[in-house]
């Protein structure tokens, strides 16, 4: 089998691969790297965890080292975490080049980002929304000369899901040169292939993993038929079983809504499981402080957390594609993994659709029903308690929103009011501190003069 050197990569890059533990190219890397080095556009479709990121990072770094300038490459990806993950691969593999990268994602300071962009980083890794905001509002940087446009999880970027990137992509595509190399990657590219081919017109090279099954072999995939009402008891039972069976067990549980995500997290914590929701917890989950991550589909794509042993689908995904990305969070880079999907009486057709797409029948998981029945009442009570607690939390939020609405009706700007309030509180605090200080000084002076008084009297 060809090594990285035989693919046309320079020795410094091959050395970097070795240092990272990448000894042999994976099939998607074998397929795509030579075509990209030849200057062709590329559409790469390969299973989750099969090394698609390095398949584009390596040839881009090679080309960058031959003609270094900024901004050389733009990578678009649907979520913040993925942007950070991709940037990390660029940084580690591109270390000998002194690579400068810049991450442009929502939730971070726009001004700082604009400054970074104006410094002409070699690689910009961005989520479409925030990058489009910069392009619309700032003229301190230009994408006019980029050599590479990469769209990671390309089908997600193009489909009109809960976050619709269409308008932002239009802005971005209008600001990059027509003469460029376009690289599109995903585990589920085939569904949006036609649209994607419109983007990659430069002798596009299409690479798809030749495999009868669309999920990896090392993944043990099972389903569990459960009545809707006892689903959570099964979940708790499964989590307990995995914790008992696996050493340092790490699990991702996928749910369909943020609310369920919150409730399940509260519930599992009540049972003393080390659980966290996705948003605050990713870094801690990666560093193993928490062993159970509960997430919605936002986290289902691309996240590369090698230690995940089990994925539990608390709901059956409505689309087979979502299933493929979710279960792909485990059994990555040749490791073993398990995926269990809870299927209620209403979701059997969804299970069949998944099986048809992945070209594999899932096996039923055997569970000791009596164990589940034993905890059923307790789990349902705890769940209800958590729901009530969450409602109370939302009640406070709603109160806050109503206050804001009232201010707007009064013709006031709620943000300005909040700022004014904060300033007032600050002034009050400063006044208090000042008074305290004056008081202290007075007391000191008083006790000092009293002391002197004694001293004066002393020698008499
Ligand atoms: N040639 C290689 N040899 C060994 N490990 C590799 C190789 N290439 C990549 N990997 C490792 O495999 C893991 C998965 O890679 P990557 O995140 O690129 O997968 P992916 O195909 O993009 O998956 P997804 O579709 O879920 O985004 C990473 O931890 C990466 O370091």
ipTM: 0.95
Question: H or E element: which one contains 445?
Answer: helix 414-457
* Cis, bond preceding 394 (omega within 30 deg of 0): no
pLDDT at 61: 97
Q: Kindly report the number of other CB atoms within 10 A of residue 430's CB atom.
A: 10
| Separation CA 338–CA 224 (nearest Å) | 13
Q: Which two tokens stand for residue 378?
A: 């307790």
Same structural domain, 276 and 337: yes
Same structural domain, 231 and 149: no
Nearest CA residue ID for atom 16, ligand 1: 51
Which CATH number characterizes residue 196's domain? 3.40.50.300
User: Mutate which of 22, 26, 32, 53 to test ligand 1's pocket (most atoms within 8 Å of Cβ)?
Assistant: 53
Give the bridge partners for 126, in sequence order.
76, 104
| Separation CA 90–CA 61 (nearest Å) | 8
Same structural domain, 196 and 235: no
- Let me know how long the chain is: 460
Q: Kindly report the number of other CB atoms within 10 A of residue 248's CB atom.
A: 9
Q: Is 49 left (phi over 0), alpha (psi -120 to 50) or beta?
A: left
Same structural domain, 239 and 368: yes
* Cis, bond preceding 25 (omega within 30 deg of 0): no
pLDDT at 455 over 60: no
Given a contact cutoff of 8 angstroms between Cβ atoms, the answer to whether 250 and 307 are in contact is: yes
Task: Work out the average pLDDT over 78-89.
Answer: 89
Same structural domain, 201 and 229: no
Residue partners of 23: CB distance under 8 A and separation at least 6 = 3, 17
User: Mutate which of 32, 56, 333 to test ligand 1's pocket (most atoms within 8 Å of Cβ)?
Assistant: 333
Does residue 366 form part of some domain?
A: yes
| Separation CA 408–CA 23 (nearest Å) | 62
Q: Which two tokens stand for residue 181?
A: 């190399």
pLDDT at 459 over 50: no
Which residue did the predictor score with more confidence, 413 or 35? 35
Same structural domain, 104 and 167: yes
Ligand 1 center to 218 CA (angstroms): 15
Given a contact cutoff of 8 angstroms between Cβ atoms, the answer to whether 315 and 226 are in contact is: no
pLDDT at 225: 93
Average per-residue pLDDT for the chain = 86
Does residue 458 form part of some domain?
A: no
pLDDT at 268: 94
pLDDT at 363: 93
Given a contact cutoff of 8 angstroms between Cβ atoms, the answer to whether 135 and 111 are in contact is: no
Nearest CA residue ID for atom 4, ligand 1: 22
Which residue, of 181, 208, 235, is where some domain finishes? 208
Ligand 1 center to 441 CA (angstroms): 65
Q: Cα 224 vs. chain centroid, distance in angstroms? A: 27
Residue 225 burial (10 A CB sphere; 0-12, 13-18, 19+):
middle
Query: What is the residue whose two structure tokens read 């979710």?
Result: 326
How are strands ordered across the β-sheet holding 73-76? 101-104, 123-126, 73-76, 148-152, 181-186, 42-45, 205-208
Give the bridge partners for 57, in sequence order.
none
pLDDT at 301 over 60: yes
CA nearest to 224, candidates 215, 234, 214, 216: 234
pLDDT at 405 over 90: no
Domain that holds residue 85: 4-208
44 lines ligand 1 (CB under 6 A): no
Q: Which tens digits make up the pLDDT trace of 1-38?
A: 578 999 999 999 999 998 888 889 999 999 999 999 99
Same structural domain, 198 and 223: no
pLDDT at 392: 81
Does residue 445 form part of some domain?
A: no
Same structural domain, 181 and 225: no
pLDDT at 357: 87
Q: What percentage of the chain exceeds 90 in pLDDT?
A: 45
pLDDT at 307: 83
Which residue, of 393, 415, 430, is where some domain finishes? 393
Ligand 1 center to 334 CA (angstroms): 9
| Separation CA 23–CA 179 (nearest Å) | 34
Minimum-distance ligand 1 atom for the alpha carbon of 20 = 31
Q: Which two tokens stand for residue 328?
A: 């792909």
Does residue 440 form part of some domain?
A: no
CA distance from start to end of the chain: 104
Q: Which two tokens stand for residue 427?
A: 């002034």
Which segment, 51-60, 153-162, 400-409, is predicted with the most confidence on average? 51-60
pLDDT at 45: 86
Same structural domain, 77 and 125: yes
Which residue, of 185, 208, 231, is where some domain finishes? 208
Judge if pTM exceeds 0.80: no
Does residue 119 form part of some domain?
A: yes
Does residue 444 form part of some domain?
A: no
pLDDT at 220: 93
Ligand 1 center to 22 CA (angstroms): 9
Task: Work out the average pLDDT over 48-66.
Answer: 93
Q: How many domains does the chain have?
A: 2
Among 180-189, 221-230, 352-361, 442-451, the range scoring the smallest mean pLDDT is 442-451
Q: Is 407 left (phi over 0), alpha (psi -120 to 50) or beta?
A: alpha
Same structural domain, 46 and 149: yes
CA nearest to 25, candidates 46, 49, 1, 42: 1
Q: Which tens digits make up the pLDDT trace of 427-440?
A: 888 888 888 888 98
Task: Work out the average pLDDT over 351-360.
Answer: 91
Q: Which tens digits make up the pLDDT trace of 136-182?
A: 987 789 999 999 999 998 888 887 665 678 889 999 999 999 999 99
52 lines ligand 1 (CB under 6 A): yes
Given a contact cutoff of 8 angstroms between Cβ atoms, the answer to whether 101 and 123 are in contact is: yes
Same structural domain, 344 and 253: yes
pLDDT at 281: 57
Does residue 408 form part of some domain?
A: no
pLDDT at 460: 35
State the Rg of the chain over Cα. 28
Which residue did the predictor score with more confidence, 78 or 60? 60
pLDDT at 269 over 70: yes
CA atoms within 13 A on the CB side of 213: 11
Does residue 383 form part of some domain?
A: yes
Q: Which tens digits make up the pLDDT trace of 369-380?
A: 899 999 999 999
pLDDT at 299: 74
pLDDT at 213 over 90: no
| Separation CA 334–CA 323 (nearest Å) | 19
Nearest CA residue ID for atom 22, ligand 1: 52
Crossing angle (nearest 10°) for helices 52-66 and 11-20? 150
- Please spell the DSSP secondary structure of 243-265, one letter per residue: HHHSTT--EEEE-SSHHHHHHHH
Q: Helix or strand or coil: residue 217?
A: coil
Same structural domain, 246 and 332: yes
Q: Which two tokens stand for residue 372?
A: 């589940």
Query: What is the residue whose two structure tokens read 């038929």?
Result: 225
Query: What is the residue whose two structure tokens read 């726009």?
Result: 110
Minimum-distance ligand 1 atom for the alpha carbon of 85 = 17
Given a contact cutoff of 8 angstroms between Cβ atoms, the answer to whether 216 and 331 are in contact is: yes
Q: Which tens digits make up the pLDDT trace of 191-208?
A: 676 677 777 777 788 888
| 137-173 b/e (C-beta count within 10 Å ≥ 16 → b) | eeeebebeebbbbbbbbbbbbbbeeeeebeebbebbe
169 lines ligand 1 (CB under 6 A): no
Among 57-66, 209-218, 315-324, the range scoring the smallest mean pLDDT is 209-218
CA nearest to 171, candidates 101, 74, 83, 87: 74
Q: Which tens digits make up the pLDDT trace of 92-116?
A: 999 999 999 999 998 888 889 999 9
């Amino acid at each position: 089998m060809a090594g990285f050197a035989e693919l046309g990569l320079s020795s410094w890059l091959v050395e970097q691969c070795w240092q990272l533990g990448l000894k042999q190219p994976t099939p998607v890397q074998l397929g795509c790297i030579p075509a990209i080095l030849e200057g062709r556009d590329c559409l790469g479709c390969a299973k989750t965890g099969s090394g698609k990121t390095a398949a584009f990072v390596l040839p881009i770094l090679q080309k960058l080292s031959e003609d270094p300038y900024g901004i050389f490459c733009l990578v678009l990806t649907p979520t913040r975490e993925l942007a950070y993950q991709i940037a990390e691969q660029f940084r580690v593999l591109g270390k000998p080049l002194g690579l400068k990268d810049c991450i442009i994602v929502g939730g971070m300071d726009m001004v700082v980002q604009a400054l970074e962009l104006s410094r002409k980083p070699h690689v910009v890794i961005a989520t479409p929304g925030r990058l489009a905001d910069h392009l619309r509002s700032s003229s301190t940087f230009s994408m006019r000369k980029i050599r590479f446009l990469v769209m990671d999880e390309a089908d997600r970027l193009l489909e009109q899901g809960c976050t619709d990137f269409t308008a932002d992509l239009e802005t971005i595509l209008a600001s990059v040169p027509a003469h460029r190399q376009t690289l599109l990657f995903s585990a589920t590219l085939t569904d949006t292939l036609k649209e994607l081919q419109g983007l990659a017109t430069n002798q596009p090279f299409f690479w798809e993993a030749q495999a009868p099954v669309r999920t990896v072999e090392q993944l043990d995939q099972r389903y569990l038929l459960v009545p809707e009402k006892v689903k959570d008891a099964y979940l708790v039972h499964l989590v307990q079983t995995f914790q008992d069976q696996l050493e340092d067990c790490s699990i991702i549980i996928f749910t369909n809504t943020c609310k369920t995500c919150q409730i399940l997290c509260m519930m599992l914590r009540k049972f003393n499981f080390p659980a966290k929701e996705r948003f605050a917890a990713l870094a801690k989950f990666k560093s193993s402080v928490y062993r159970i991550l509960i997430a919605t589909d936002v986290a289902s794509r691309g996240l590369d957390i090698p230690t995940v042993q089990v994925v539990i689908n608390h709901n059956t995904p409505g689309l087979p594609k979502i299933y493929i990305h979710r279960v792909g969070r485990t059994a990555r880079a040749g490791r073993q993994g398990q995926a269990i999907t809870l299927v209620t009486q209403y979701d059997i057709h969804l299970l069949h659709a998944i099986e048809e797409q992945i070209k594999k029948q899932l096996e039923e998981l055997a569970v000791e029903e009596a164990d589940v029945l034993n905890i059923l009442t307790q789990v349902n009570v705890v769940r209800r308690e958590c729901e009530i607690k969450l409602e109370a939390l939302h009640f406070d939020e709603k109160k806050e929103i109503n206050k804001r609405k009232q201010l707007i009706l009064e013709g006031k700007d709620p943000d300005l009011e909040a700022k004014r309030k904060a300033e007032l509180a600050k002034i009050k605090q400063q006044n208090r501190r000042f008074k305290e200080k004056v008081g202290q000084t007075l007391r000191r002076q008083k006790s000092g003069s009293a002391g002197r008084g004694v001293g004066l009297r002393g020698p008499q």
